[in-house]
Amino acid sequence: MLRSWVLTGLLFVSLTSTKGMAATQLVVEAALDRQVVAPLLAAFEKAHPEIELTYHDRTTLEVDLLVETSSQAPDIVISSAMPWQMNRVNEGYARRIDSQPAAQWPEWAKWRNEIFGFTFEPIVMAYRLDLASYMLPPQTHADLHTLLRSQQESLKGKVTTYSPSESGIGYTLFQQDARYTAKFWDLVKALGNAEATLELDTQSMLEGLTRGDYWLGYNLLGSYAMVWAQQHPEIIVQVPQDYALVVMRTGFIHRDAPNPEAAEKFMNFLLSRDGQHVLAGKTPLFSVHPDIIGPYTAQRLRDQVGDRLYPITLNASLLAFVDPQRRDAFMARWQREFNQQRELPQGPESRK
Amino acid sequence: MIHIDGSLKVRLAILLLVMVSILGTLLMIEAYFATQRAAQRAYDSQLEAAALTIAEAVQWEGADPVVEIPAAALQILATQHQERVFYTVLDHNGDRLSTNLDIDLPHTSRQAAALAPTWLDLVHKDTEWRLHGQEYDSAGWEIQSPVQIWVGHTLRGRKALASELFDRAVIRFLAMVLLAATLMVLAMRVALTPMRQLRHQLRRRQADDIRPLDTRVPEEMREMAEALDTLFARQRESRDTLLRFTADASHQLKTPLAGLQSTSELALKSRSPDVWYQALEEVHGGTQRTSRLAGQLLSLARLRHIEDTEALVPLDLKELLRSTVLEWAGREVAIDHDLGLSALPSTPMTIRGEPWGLRELLGNLIDNAIRYTPAGSEITLGVESCSDHCMLFIEDDGPGVDPEGLSRLFQPFERVGRQDTEGSGLGLAIVDSIAKRHDAELHARERLPHGLRIELHFPLHEEKC
């Protein structure tokens, strides 16, 4: 009798203690490959053992929808689709962070102290080494245009780039390209003539290049491409010499986050020296932090390619990219230019 | 006794502080609203610019207006304060062509915007917004109907600008107050210099220096300076009186003493006891007179210095008069005179007075009348009731005093040409002093056909009036 009471008591104590230890939950919904950020997540869990981290790797579209529709709001929302993230923040779904790392974060990489760009990923061109034996590899956007026109026959079907209708990041990149120069549409026309294949992500493009399906890729995420090129010597990564776009992964704490304190700890870790150090040293994602030293930092990249890096800054102009009418108009123009020379337009389906 | 009742500087400072506080509050209220208006104007113009930029991007494709939202418009809306932004483009039916947030626009505002540019403050999902709506004409090949453009943003920048402007206004005001206070202190020091100079001048004076002031004072201090001068003048006067009194007293004492000396010298030269006896009698009479004189001087001096009016008690003047006259009638000096009382009123005559002082007064009056009238003269005392006071009088049928002498009658040592009697001239002066202590008016007038009448008018005791 007595023994059973003692047992029950012990059981109760052990139950409450484990429950107490795992009291803080943290749910991160991210459009960011889990294996890429694994070192970062591990470092966070080591620094904050009291927080039980749940990390869901999803597509940008899923992440964006979860912000609005999820019955249980996520704590942290991370995505590379900057305009959609900005739109959610503008709708008031983000929570302001007033910590020291947040205050010291570079102005161009944050908005309202609510959303923060915490990686620095240049957009690059990639080509197979074989290409160089047939033609002069492109170094700038203009080179690419010339090459596509002069070597139209040999490059037919051998070029790949993002699909603007199915990839949020691809759409953002082309919108940004179009903002810089009207000649962009000539490039689109040339890509169409070369019967370029539209892929959903950088990984597919890199795999296609390695297999030999493609000779040339345009607008790849430099972070993935550079790591890939280290392991696959047949692939050459070229940072465009006229201008190179830079995208950022952005994260914000959801307004209705169930665990705002844990969420703020996570964001602070992401923006802290420690977090950015892991980012720069153990992941291919470049660090934004100006003080961090490592192979993958914004500073190192600037040293290598000069001042031709054009980050897509976090500001209200990104909201124009998600305006439905503007998007429709852009896609209509894209289809018109891309399919101009083709008999049967086989445009990919619209994103929505 | 000087009581220090606050300081002029503190009083001035408090007055100024109160006025500045009231004025400052009013100014700050005004500044608050002015800065709010200024911030509102500054940011409203951003909204107008953004709306115009969007309006420029409206184009007609067939029957449908198409808006390709310019990124610049959103940047203008967001301002450098990174406001959350709202825009919507409505066609002529009020249907949304393009929007980014589902803010519901009130029907009345949409109607108002159709007529003129409209401003609207509203709260959407716990956030304050300011919206601007305007209708723009736009014409296509098929349809020519206007579009309505609404833009808006949150209020962070407005609030920041307003509070910055307001803070600056407050700092300016406080700086002004501090500067004014400093100048005020300096001005006060300068303005109060004449007072300080006067103070120094008074402090430097010797104890017995009671000359009139010789200084420059501003208009505001004239009265005080004049009052000081009057005080000095009175001091001078009383000192002169004292000196004269002392001189007169010495003179009066010197004469009988000189008499005593000569009498005693003469007697010492003689060997005859008869002469000695006669001289002794003269000396006896002389010392009697002298000691009476000394007594009178003493009581006069005492009367002039005793200021204590607390000793005044209500008493019946009629009874006092009766008892005093009866006492005097029995004295040896009054044997040759017909000392009498006139008919006294039946009611008591209550006044406030010192019994000993009044007896002294009556004694002096009677003594005076006896001394300065020939034997057999009739001396009558009486008391009469007037409307608000009672009158005590004494009259005789002696030779009287000529009219010029009447005014000098009550001055010490004044005998109005009567050197024939052994009086000192102090009696009536003592009467005058005692009368003054009782607030009584003293009058001397001729009595017809001959003689002197002295009247004393006492105020009646209030309770009995």
Considering the domain boundaries, does residue B71 fall inside one? yes
| Closest residue to B100, CB basis, from A112, A315, A323 | A323
The complex's ipTM works out to 0.79
More confident residue, B149 or B448: B149
Count of structural domains, chain B: 3
CA A41, CA A47: separation in Å to the nearest integer? 10
Distance (Å) from the alpha carbon of A329 to chain B's nearest alpha carbon: 7
Span B330-337, average pLDDT: 83
Same-domain check for residues B130 and B22: yes
Considering the domain boundaries, does residue B204 fall inside one? no
C-alpha angle B95-B97-B100 in degrees, rounded to nearest 5: 110
Residue A138 pLDDT: 92
Q: Which residues of A touch B67 (CB under 8 A)?
A: 325-326
Same-domain check for residues B83 and B51: yes
Residue A11 pLDDT: 44
Residue B91 belongs to a domain with what CATH number? 3.30.450
Edge to edge, the sheet with strand B452-459 lists B338-341, B378-385, B389-396, B452-459, B441-446
Q: Do domains A22-120+248-307 and A122-245+315-338 have the same CATH topology?
A: yes
**Prediction pTM value:** 0.66
Decide if A83 contacts A214 (C-beta within 8 A): no
Given a cut of 70, whether residue B456 has pLDDT beyond it is yes
- Chain A CB within 8 Å of residue B70 CB: yes
CA B43, CA B53: separation in Å to the nearest integer? 15
Place of tokens 């970062």: A40
Same-domain check for residues B394 and B455: yes
Decide if A318 contacts A325 (C-beta within 8 A): no
Considering the domain boundaries, does residue B208 fall inside one? no
Same-domain check for residues B358 and B258: no
Interface test with A, best of B46, B53, B64, B68 (most A CBs within 10 A): B68
Q: Where are the domains of chain A?
A: 22-120+248-307, 122-245+315-338
Altogether, the residues listed in chain B come to a count of 465
| Closest residue to A316, CB basis, from B66, B75, B101 | B75
CA A338, CA A192: separation in Å to the nearest integer? 4
Cβ contacts from A onto B, under 8 A: 58
More confident residue, A161 or B339: A161
Same-domain check for residues B63 and B108: yes
Interface test with A, best of B53, B56, B74, B126 (most A CBs within 10 A): B74
Considering the domain boundaries, does residue B181 fall inside one? no
Local structure of residue A196 (DSSP, 8 states): P
Fold of A122-245+315-338: D-Maltodextrin-Binding Protein; domain 2 (3.40.190)
- Chain A CB within 8 Å of residue B160 CB: no
Distance (Å) from the alpha carbon of B35 to chain A's nearest alpha carbon: 24
Per residue of chain A (352 residues), give pLDDT as tens.
444 444 444 444 444 444 445 568 899 999 888 888 899 999 999 999 999 999 999 888 889 999 988 788 999 999 989 999 999 999 999 999 999 999 999 888 999 999 999 998 899 999 999 888 888 899 999 999 999 999 888 889 999 999 998 888 899 999 999 988 889 999 999 999 999 999 988 999 999 999 999 999 999 998 889 889 989 999 999 999 889 999 999 999 999 999 999 999 999 999 998 899 898 888 888 887 777 766 667 777 777 777 788 889 898 999 999 998 899 999 999 999 998 765 444 444 433 3
Given a cut of 60, whether residue B109 has pLDDT beyond it is yes
Considering the domain boundaries, does residue B255 fall inside one? yes
Residue A351 pLDDT: 38
Instruction: Select A22-120+248-307's CATH number: 3.40.630.40, 3.30.390.50, 3.40.190.10, 3.40.1710.10.
Output: 3.40.190.10
More confident residue, B75 or B356: B75
String of b and e for A334-344 (b: at least 16 CB within 10 Å)?
Answer: bbebbeeeeee
Give how far the C-alpha of residue B249 lies from the chain's centroid of Cα atoms, to the nearest Å: 43
Distance (Å) from the alpha carbon of A176 to chain B's nearest alpha carbon: 11
Q: pLDDT over 70 for what percent of chain B?
A: 95
Interface test with B, best of A107, A108, A110, A112 (most B CBs within 10 A): A112
- Chain A CB within 8 Å of residue B59 CB: no
Same-domain check for residues B64 and B156: yes
Residue A134 pLDDT: 85
Residue A163 pLDDT: 92
Same-domain check for residues B317 and B457: yes
- Chain B CB within 8 Å of residue A325 CB: yes
Span B410-426, average pLDDT: 70
CA B70, CA B55: separation in Å to the nearest integer? 10
Identify the domain boundary among B241, B273, B305: B305
Span B370-374, average pLDDT: 85
Same-domain check for residues B451 and B322: yes
Considering the domain boundaries, does residue B180 fall inside one? no
- C-alpha gyration radius of chain A: 23
For all residues of chain B together, what is the average pLDDT?
A: 85
Distance (Å) from the alpha carbon of A326 to chain B's nearest alpha carbon: 5
Same-domain check for residues B286 and B338: no
Judge: A111–B66 Cβ closer than 8 Å, yes or no.
Answer: no
SS (H, E, C) chain B: CCCCCCCHHHHHHHHHHHHHHHHHHHHHHHHHHHHHHHHHHHHHHHHHHHHHHHHHCEEEECCEEEECCCHHHHHHHHCCCCCCEEEEEECCCCCEEEECCCCCCCHHHHHHHHHCCEEEEEEECCEEEEEEEEEECCCCCCCCCCEEEEEEEECHHHHHHHHHHHHHHHHHHHHHHHHHHHHHHHHHHHHCHHHHHHHHHHHHCCCCCCCCCCCCCCHHHHHHHHHHHHHHHHHHHHHHHHHHHHHHHHHHHHHHHHHHHHHHHHHHHCCCHHHHHHHHHHHHHHHHHHHHHHHHHHHHHHHHHCCCCCCCEEEEHHHHHHHHHHHHHCCHHHCCCEEEECCCCCCCCEEEECHHHHHHHHHHHHHHHHHHCCCCCEEEEEEEECCCEEEEEEEECCCCCCHHHHCCCCCCCCCCCCCCCCCCCCHHHHHHHHHHHCCCEEEEEECCCCCEEEEEEEECCHHHC
Residue B40 pLDDT: 92
Same-domain check for residues B432 and B355: yes
Same-domain check for residues B16 and B158: yes
Residue B386 belongs to a domain with what CATH number? 3.30.565.10
CA A147, CA A157: separation in Å to the nearest integer? 14
- Chain A CB within 8 Å of residue B84 CB: yes
Judge: B69–A316 Cβ closer than 8 Å, yes or no.
Answer: no
Interval B236-285: pLDDT, tens: 888 887 888 788 788 778 888 888 898 888 888 888 888 889 888 988 98
Helix H or strand E encompassing A217: strand A216-221
- Listed in sequence order, the residues at least 6 apart from B46 whose beta carbon sits closer than 8 Å to its beta carbon are B76, B77, B79, B153
CA B423, CA B431: separation in Å to the nearest integer? 14
Local structure of residue A1 (DSSP, 8 states): -
Residue A16 pLDDT: 43
Tell me which residue of A68, A38, A65, A85 sits closest to A249, measured CA to CA: A85
* A residues 77..106 contacting B (CB < 8 A): 87, 89-92
Considering the domain boundaries, does residue B337 fall inside one? yes
3-class SS at A312? coil
Q: Which residues of A touch B74 (CB under 8 A)?
A: 316-317, 319-320
What is the residue type of B201? Q
Distance (Å) from the alpha carbon of A99 to chain B's nearest alpha carbon: 18
Residue B279 belongs to a domain with what CATH number? 1.10.287
The lowest-confidence range among A182-186, A200-204, B138-142, B303-307 is B303-307
Q: Which neighbouring-strand residues pair with B151?
A: B87, B132
Identify the domain boundary among B305, B327, B359: B305
C-alpha angle A28-A29-A34 in degrees, rounded to nearest 5: 85
Same-domain check for residues B300 and B322: no
First-to-last alpha carbon distance for chain B, in angstroms, is 35
Helix H or strand E encompassing A162: strand A159-162
Edge to edge, the sheet with strand B118-124 lists B96-99, B85-90, B147-154, B127-136, B118-124
Tell me which residue of B388, B350, B385, B369 sits closest to B452, measured CA to CA: B369
Residue A9 pLDDT: 45
Q: Which neighbouring-strand residues pair with B455?
A: B393, B443
Helix H or strand E encompassing A144: helix A141-150
Identify the domain boundary among B305, B329, B344: B305
Considering the domain boundaries, does residue B262 fall inside one? yes
Distance (Å) from the alpha carbon of A325 to chain B's nearest alpha carbon: 6
More confident residue, A59 or B130: B130
Domain encompassing residue B395: 313-464
